[in-house]
Structure 1
Amino acid sequence: MARLYPFRALRYDPARVNMEDVVTQPYDKITPAMQQLYYEASPYNLIRIILGKHEPGDTDPQDFLPYGEQAHNVYTRAAETLREWRRDRVLAEEAEPAVYGYSQTYEVPGTGAAAGQTETRERRGFIALGHLYDYADKVVYRHEQTFPKHKSDRLALFKATRAYCEQIYMLYSDPAFTAEKLIFGASGPGKDFSGKIGPDTAPADLAITDEYNVVHRLWKITDPHIINLLLTAMADKKLIIADGHHRYETSVAYAKERSAQLKLPFKQAIPGDEDSSPSVIADGDTRSTLPTPAFPEAAMMMTFVNMDAPGITILPTHRVVHGLPSFSSPDFITKASAFFNIKELTTPDLAALNATPGTAFLAATGDGNYLLTPKPDVIAAALKGISPRQAQLDVVQLHSIILDKLLGLDQDTITRLGNVRYIREPAEATALVASGEADIAFLIKPITLDQLRDISLSGDVMPQKSTDFYPKLLSGLAIYALD
């Protein structure tokens, strides 16, 4: 069962800071230029904790130092900064356990004045603690591969700070829209909210517009009755990680480590409660009417979004390949023609790609632009070792056939040499080829929500950067401190 918990969050004091100056995009979406802007925005910007600057003389994390040596690095500075902000009450702990309704209103990328139409969407969810599970427990499911380097970085930061400053983005399915009704006072997607009791008729506790003009709103829910109804409704849900695979797997590993140290069962949610569902807590029970993790490390902060509700946008992540020795566009097209039908285009026009049914890629080179569509029988034979669910995905054919077989870039090579860049904007991808900075760019279609659901729940995984959920969850809206 999926166990969720309310928590007493650490939150910025809006009397001490301008909230828009202290929150950030997720750490893995922050470029060096963004990092500098965050540093300049405020001395209390969260960047100093989640992605601090390296300094000369920095040491390895504490776990890798000889006995008796003291670490001094981005992680120790992050921990000291967090302690200072808590001591000075820049960050203060909430008085009551809560869950937080969270909405994001945004313009869909690719629409707007330049495109001749504007599409605005609102994505709704809620922030709570989620119990940590092994994938084998079949409660939490992944959809993409992860790499050890990213996990070791996040583990070192977490061990130093003992706080979750960022949220995992979790998807679940609920056609009844139970959470939306409880939190937002809605009778369902697209309904008239007038006259409803709940956040839709009350001002948000917090409203922030980020650098992408996304409006983020937060409502604090402390009513134990509503919280227990929400947690009970979520108990039978399967959870799919949308964003945050590395952080999730890092947290599971650390929870197991702590459960062994504390001699507490890793999977136990409420001490002495076999069911652990909020509904089993009887009247007059001396325990809290709100569930808590058996130990702090057994859960982490997550945002839960219903896949059946409107507002979810998945963007494609295009691949740009550089540093190939003696790359030749004609040679590549000749090799590719064994697996794909090739159509030359005058420009790398996404309209041609999007108008092509089924799997297709657009390859942009210095010599020309080409639309590639698969030869089904040839592709099926080449991918016979891959499950049919995966084999039909654009991104899997791109990695397994084009990058690996045709360009000699398997995942180990890509990880070791860094020949592939992952870029959201197609114009940026093709510009790198036009300038000579890259050899070839592959523009692809986005994964659909149904494809992601089928792949995840079947136990399959896609290549890294197969999805780009937009917008990202802001970091710094709430913090789960373990101490």
Structure 2
Amino acid sequence: MAEIKGFRAIRYNLDELDEPADVLAPPYDVIDADEQAELYEKHPANVIRLVLNRQHDSDTAENSRYTRARRHLMDWLARGLLRQDNQPGLYAHHQTFTDAHGNEHTRKGFLGAVRLATYDEEVVLPHERTLRGPKVDRLELMKACDANMSPIFFLYDDPERKVDALLEANLEESQELDVTTDHDGIRHRTWPVFDADAQAEIARVLEDSQLLIADGHHRYETALAYRDFRREVAEESVENAPYEYVMAFMVNIHDPGLQVFGTHRVVHGVEDFDMGELLSALEDSEVFKVRRLSKEHVDEPLHLNDQLTEAGESAPSFMLLSQEAEGPILVQYTGDESADIFDEETPDQVRRLDVAILHEGIIDRMLGINKEAQEAKTNLRYIKKLDGAVAARKDDDVQLVVLMNPTPVEQVVEVCQSGGKMPQKSTFFYPKILSGLTINPL
């Protein structure tokens, strides 16, 4: 049984800010060193100092990126730059954005607190494997700050959209946050919903739901580890202690604005890579159909995307780009779940995915990049922007670019419910959730 409730969020005091957008930041795991520096310069109270504080060679256990984050959090609360709501709330959050074809979408969701549950309880369902490194980092931050800095992104099933109706009928209009991020033009709007009856009704609507992790597997497992740590040091068990919950952004799988984009693959550093041999292996295979396309449009991302989308409507498909090939190569999968390209333990629901067919049938078996190398990004990296992926074909160190169609939400649901795991970077739910909208003290 899912348990959702309001929480007393820590939020920026809008009365103290000229430009609220200046204190917000993208999620910590998409920020590189250059963007980190830009965010540091943007405002002295930018949330980057909490979610991804700079690391210094002189750091010690007593003075580290984690302890500095805590000091900033305490200082900004004391100075009134941040303040905690005096009553629990859910926080409606809408994001309006334009896709690559110029179509506008608004994704509607809300921020709330979700009771933590282990995966075997089948309340929260994952679809990706996790790595140890990111969880160690986030656990140190949680222990230092005793707070959720960034939400887990959950999907829930509400075909009648009852939750949306309850939220929109009870928005605290006077406390609306409305910002547009300049680097991508996305409009982010947030309103608290403090009405206790509305919160209780939303909890009732969702109490029989399974919650699917769309994004944030590492953070969710970190929250479980933090909960267990707090249980160990507590003098007595507290059933409804704050650390028994995690901050979450929740979206209905029936929301018209819920968009999933493809994440493209870049192959590099493979010893003795030969594009001709790869194409021959694909053409000789009984489960792949290869079509060589005209080189006329090889540098036109939208044209390539349209061709890939059309092909994907009839069969799992991906497009190969390489300096060793004159034009794009369209590859379609003609096999089924019984093909011998898959590992024995791969469930049927995963075998239907474009990314599983690519990773198990081609990247692993034909290119020799095993799962360990994929996870370590030894020979594989990922690009989310279509134009960036197409341009990467010309980079000297790039051997192959694979353009991907997005994984449909329906397939994500099927994999979660099957207990299977997708390859890394199988889903890209767009847009990401900004850091700094709400903080959940624990």
**Bin for the TM-score computed over the shorter chain:** over 0.9
Q: CA deviation at 1:94?
A: 1.0
| Residue 370 (1) aligns with residue 329 (2) | yes
Quote the residue 1:49 is aligned against: 50
CA contact 1:100–1:221 (8 Å) conserved in 2? yes
C-alpha displacement of 1:466: 0.5
Displacement, 1:350?
A: 2.3
1:157 aligns with 2:141: yes
Contact persistence 1:366–1:433 (CA under 8 A) = yes
The correspondence for 1:302, drawn from 248, 254, 268, is: 248
Secondary structure of 1:446 counterpart: coil
Deviation track 1:352-378 (CA, whole Å, cap 9, x = no partner) reads: 211112111111111213111124169
Compute the displacement of 1:262 (Å).
2.1
**How far, CA to CA, are the matches of 2:53 and 2:284 in structure 1?**
48
Counterpart mapping for 1:407-422 below 5 A: 407-416=367-376, 418-422=378-382
- Partner amino acid, structure 2, of 1:50: V
- Match of 2:409? 449
2:355 aligned with 1:383: no
Instruction: Return closer, same or farther for 1:235/1:43 CA change in 2, 3 Å cut-off.
Output: same
Give 1:213 deviation, angstroms.
1.3
More displaced stretch, 323-332 vs 305-314: 323-332
- How high is the sequence identity, in percent, across the aligned residues? 32
**1:125 and 2:82 are equivalent in the alignment:** no
Where does residue 101 of structure 2 map in the other structure?
111
Contact 2:315 2:334 in 1 (8 A): no
Give 1:418 deviation, angstroms. Answer: 2.8
2:177 partner amino acid: L
Q: CA deviation at 1:459?
A: 1.1
1:434 corresponds in structure 2 to 394
**In the alignment, is residue 205 of structure 1 matched against residue 176 of structure 2?**
yes
Distance in 1 of aligned mates of 2:236 and 2:402? 49
Partner of 1:352: 307
Partner of 2:118: 134
CA pair 204-346 structure 1, distance change in 2 beyond 3 A? farther
Q: Distance in 2 between matches of 1:442 and 1:8?
A: 45
**Which of 132, 151, 173 pairs up with 1:148?**
132
* Gap change, CA 1:89 and 1:384, over 3 Å in 2: closer
User: How far apart, in 2, do the equivalents of 1:219 and 1:353 lie?
Assistant: 39
Question: In structure 2, what is the Cα distance between the partners aligned to 1:431 and 1:72?
Answer: 42
**Amino acid of the structure 2 residue aligned with 1:35:** Q
Question: 1:469 aligned to 2:440?
Answer: no
Structure-2 separation of matches of 1:58 and 1:73? 5
Counterparts in 2 of 1:214-225, with a 5 A limit?
214-225=186-197
2:294 and 2:200 map into 1 onto residues whose CA distance is 59
Corresponding residue for 2:282?
336
Paired AA for residue 163 in structure 1: A
Match of 2:14, SS state, is coil
SS at match of 2:21: helix
Q: For structure 1, which segment, 136-145 or 226-235, has the greater mean C-alpha deviation from structure 2 after superposition? A: 226-235
Q: TM-score, normalised by structure 2?
A: 0.92
Q: Which runs of 5+ in 1 are unaligned?
A: 60-69, 113-118, 186-197, 270-293
Name the structure 1 match of 2:16.
Answer: 16
> Residues of 1 paired with 2:347 and 2:193: CA distance?
43
* Structure 1 consecutive aligned stretches of length 4 or more whose deviation exceeds 3 Å: none
Structure 1 residues 440 and 95, CA gap change in structure 2 (3 angstroms):
same
- Secondary structure at the counterpart of residue 305 of structure 1: strand
TM-score by length of 1: 0.84
Q: Offset of 1:231 from its aligned partner?
A: 1.4
**Deviations for 1:37-60, whole angstroms, at most 9, x for unmatched residues?**
21111000000111122212224x
Does the Cα contact within 8 Å between 1:318 and 1:429 map onto a contact in 2?
yes
Take 1:410 and 1:441, find their aligned partners in 2: how far apart are those partners? 18
- Is contact 1:204-1:217 (8 Å) kept? no
1:232-251 correspondence runs (5 A): 232-251=204-223
- Tell me how far apart the structure 2 counterparts of residues 168 and 378 of structure 1 sit (CA, whole Å): 32
Shift of 1:263: 5.9
- CA drift of 1:253 comes to 1.6
> Matched residues in 2 for 1:365 and 1:74: separation?
41
- The residue that corresponds to 1:278 in the other structure is none
Deviation sequence 1:428-481 (CA, Å, 0-9, x none): 123222132311011111000110111111111101110001111111011111
Aligned positions of 1:230-309 closer than 5 A: 230-262=202-234, 269=239, 294-309=240-255
8 Å CA contact 2:375–2:424 kept in 1: the answer is no
SS of 1:218 mapped into structure 2: strand
Aligned: 1:226 with 2:216: no
1:204, CA displacement in angstroms?
Answer: 5.8
1:396 pairs, out of 356, 371, 375, with 356
Name the residue aligned to 2:301.
none
2:76 paired with 1:85? yes
Query: Matched residues in 1 for 2:177 and 2:306: separation?
Result: 39
305, 315, 318: which is aligned to 1:361?
Answer: 318
Comparing 167-176 and 369-378, the one that deviates more: 369-378
Q: Give aligned pairs, total.
A: 426
Closer, same or farther in 2 for the Cα pair 1:371/1:41, shift >3 Å?
same
Please give the secondary structure, in 2, of the residue aligned with 1:230. Answer: helix
Question: Aligned partners of 1:94 and 1:471: how far apart in 2?
Answer: 26
SS of the residue 1:337 aligns to: helix
SS in 2 for 1:371: strand
Partner AA of 1:342 in structure 2:
V
Once the 2 structures are TM-superposed, how far is the Cα of residue 260 of structure 1 from its aligned partner?
3.0
